[in-house]
Structure 1
Amino acid sequence: MTSYLIGLGIKILLLAPPILLALTVHEASHALVAWIRGDDTARRQGRLTLNPIKHLDVAGTLVFFITAWVGSGIGWAKPVPVDYRNLKNPLRDIIWVSAAGPVANLATACLLALALHGLVAGGLFREPSLPVYYLGQMFILGVQVNLVLAMFNLLPLPPLDGSGIVTGLLPLRLAMRYQELKRYGFALLLALIFLPRVVPAFPDLIGLLVVWPARELMDLLLPL
């Protein structure tokens, strides 16, 4: 029992920094691009920051830990407030603001993978008794979490970022109709995440559209 609790504690300690980093970078990037494109709503509300406390949603972070534990890593933070009326070109800029989060996660995954390559090349990622070994494990988890978060948010389902990208690409009338999905979006997301685990016949779309491409990218990025 003691060894199990120790292992549990180690895994939580390894998971916490990558999850906090991924969520913080994601939301802060939305705030930054919105500010660059003319809307300072997020900055005025203290969201243009790398302080994770400003971005965390308790339920979303808990779901992130639970799903990351079983290998996917899907969750959410508090959405960054954006007043699209303040953007220089709302229909175009909604694309850049929406894409900023997933792009930031992809960039973070690449940087963490590069750092891991450095550890491997230096022969520092061999001995589990060394602290640097656990740093490398944290880098691996960071790559996984950031890739899954990026792929998940690119799904074209409100309120995810992919829906903002699609909205910016659609004609105005269709975009307004499309955004009406927001009232059902959260329930649909929960169904996509949890139903395949309790109803085997339900298709695992998250596995197909999120986890599988994230794993393929991990195979490309990681040196192991």
Structure 2
Amino acid sequence: MELNVIQKIAIFALPVIFAITLHEAAHGYVARMFGDRTAEMMGRITLNPLRHIDPIGTILVPAITIFLGGILFGWAKPVPVNFGNLRHPKRDMLWVAAAGPGANLVMALFWAAMVKFAHLIVGSDYAQPLALMGMAGVSINAILAALNLLPIPPLDGGRIAVSLLPARAAYALSRVEPFGLFILLALLFTGLLGTLIGPVYELIQTVSLAVFGLNF
């Protein structure tokens, strides 16, 4: 089914907003578990999308990428985490960082379940829109999980790598953080980003659907 731009935005809007919102809220929640209450004090441990939305990164950029048909790309306002407040900063950083992609994996399974439910109500007026939104949700969360697992600070994968590497290597990698966004944009515009995250994206998407007996 070929969708026009308005239909695409209508189908992708909810999955995009909640994929980014829950990703960020998960960081704050796990940080609080390990001793840092910065996000909580700033009201960022919430499922209210308005607390996390960045007008450019959450709305404009994803809308443009959907319109152009490229890799869905976007971001929310980062949840503030003071790693110095964590009980074991280097070790606990791993769990705080992993919480975001972990939330996306859970959401990919949720949207796959919605696709399965849509198959069970075939004939209903809601079946096709729900199936399309479900597939969009699986795809979006698979992309965000794969993207954020790249070992480039300040992405979650970069923080996970800093947590796992020996002190000297971890320090060297952490110094890349100010240039992380520029590296990411360079990968995006050269087409290398899709090559790097493609296999992980496809794996997450395939497994999420297979759990419910669905094929991509």
Distance 1:126 1:188 in 2: 47
Q: Aligned pair in 2 of structure 1 residues 207, 218: CA closer, same or farther (>3 Å)? A: same
Indicate whether 1:211 and 2:211 are aligned. Answer: no
Distance 2:122 2:189 in 1: 35
Alignment map for 1:45-84 (pairs within 5 Å): 45-61=42-58, 62-69=60-67, 70-84=69-83
Unpaired runs of 5+ residues, structure 2, are: none
Deviations 1:9-35 (A, max 9, x none): 221111110100100010000000001
The answer for the alignment partner of 2:181 in structure 1 is 186
The answer for the alignment partner of 2:165 in structure 1 is 170
Indicate whether 1:37 and 2:34 are aligned. Answer: yes
Deviations 1:111-136 (A, max 9, x none): 2112221221x2x2467xx1332022
Give the root-mean-square deviation of aligned CA atoms.
1.9
Distance 2:173 2:98 in 1: 18
Deviations 1:17-66 (A, max 9, x none): 01001000100000000011100000111110011111112221222233
Q: Aligned pair in 2 of structure 1 residues 146, 167: CA closer, same or farther (>3 Å)? A: same
- 1:109/1:144 contact within 8 Å kept: yes
- 1:15/1:138 contact within 8 Å kept: yes
Distance 2:167 2:129 in 1: 50
- 2:72/2:143 contact within 8 Å kept: yes
User: Counterpart amino acid of 2:73?
Assistant: I
Q: TM-score under structure 2 normalisation?
A: 0.89
The answer for the alignment partner of 2:138 in structure 1 is 143
Moved over 4 A (4+): none
Identity %: 41
Alignment map for 1:49-128 (pairs within 5 Å): 49-61=46-58, 62-69=60-67, 70-120=69-119, 122=120, 124-125=121-122
Distance 1:164 1:13 in 2: 34
Match of 1:8 among 5, 10, 25: 5
Q: Which has the larger radius of gyration?
A: 1
Unpaired runs of 5+ residues, structure 1, are: 197-203
Q: TM-score under structure 1 normalisation?
A: 0.86
| Structure 1 residue 71 displacement after superposition | 4.8
Q: Aligned pair in 2 of structure 1 residues 65, 125: CA closer, same or farther (>3 Å)? A: farther
Distance 1:68 1:150 in 2: 18
Deviations 1:140-199 (A, max 9, x none): 100000000000000001110001100101222322221110121111111111133xxx
- 2:8/2:66 contact within 8 Å kept: no
